[in-house]
Amino acid sequence: MAFLHDIKELVRPYYLVNCILSISFLVLKTVSPMCMYLFPVGESQCELDMKQSEIMFFLLFVIVMRARKTGSVTMLAYLSTGFMYCKVASLILWFNADPRYGLVFLVLFVLQAILFPEPSYTGPEKVVYFNATSLEEELNRNKKVVWIVTFYTVWSPSCVNFASTFSKLSAEYTLDNLKFGKVDVGRFPELAKKYYINDTSFSRQLPTIIVFKNGEEYDRRPAIDSKGQLQKFIFNEDNVKVQLDFNNIYNDCKKNPIKEKKEKRVKSE
């Protein structure tokens, strides 16, 4: 079902336009008669030269490594990760071939970002967004509430990929005593420091999910072992449910709902 959903998503303008831009140089440089018309006779016609081939191989290596690092496990996630690198590489190649072509491609690059942004999750969610102080206040307000909080940044590809999954989980599991929250550690780095989360661009802790019980940290992913080493974790829906024991937490919370205090009304005659 997930694969069929991904196939349907590919017809959206974002994916179609990005695919065209990503392969534009490779196709127009190697396919006749376009290559003969666009590139002078003095250049290597209808084939990549050594420098261009090196850029292409380096691009492939970067895409694979970044996809592994960001935990991209679906076709759409791989494409979203690869599009940006492909377009940047194509921009370099077009400028190298002819600055005029590079300027045209740059204009198309910018227009695509404005007119066809990446589709975002539009389904239901029950997520509370915290700031630097509200998280601590909420944890202490009622310690019978279990909080599942994602610490993220807006610029991290892995955080962007995981956002829709977390929203779906919040809609599926939220109860009066089981709630979901998010903290942007890019805006509130003091919280990243407090919960020992590396928020730099080289971090392997973005996103981080922490489960709070009784107002204190109960579990987290990615976890840190006894030697202080970060354990690798892939942020997909099944992994999060199993590794953080969502179903048991949900069942425990459902069996032990918060009892509201009923005020006794004294009737005065």
- Rounding to the nearest 10 degrees, give the CA dihedral for residues 188, 194, 195, 196: 100
H helix runs in 48-98, sequence order: 50-70, 75-97
Among residues 264, 267, 143, the alpha carbon closest in space to that of 215 is found at 143
Count of all residues that appear for the chain in the document: 269
| pLDDT in the model for residue 78 | 75
Please list the residue range(s) of the chain that carry CATH number 3.40.30.10: 127-255
Query: How far is it, in rounded angstroms, from Cα 252 to Cα 194?
Result: 28
231 neighbors 222 (Cβ within 8 angstroms): yes
| pLDDT in the model for residue 258 | 79
Kindly report the pTM of this predicted structure. Answer: 0.69
22 neighbors 83 (Cβ within 8 angstroms): yes
Q: Which fold has domain 127-255?
A: Glutaredoxin (3.40.30)
| pLDDT in the model for residue 44 | 61
> Tens place of pLDDT for every residue, the chain, 269 residues?
556 767 777 888 999 999 999 999 999 988 888 888 888 765 566 888 888 888 888 887 777 666 665 555 567 777 877 888 889 889 999 998 889 999 999 999 999 999 998 877 778 899 999 998 999 999 999 999 999 999 999 888 788 888 888 999 999 999 999 999 999 999 999 999 999 999 888 888 999 999 999 999 999 999 988 787 888 888 888 889 999 999 999 999 999 887 765 443 434 44
Tokens 């206040």 identify what position?
Answer: 137
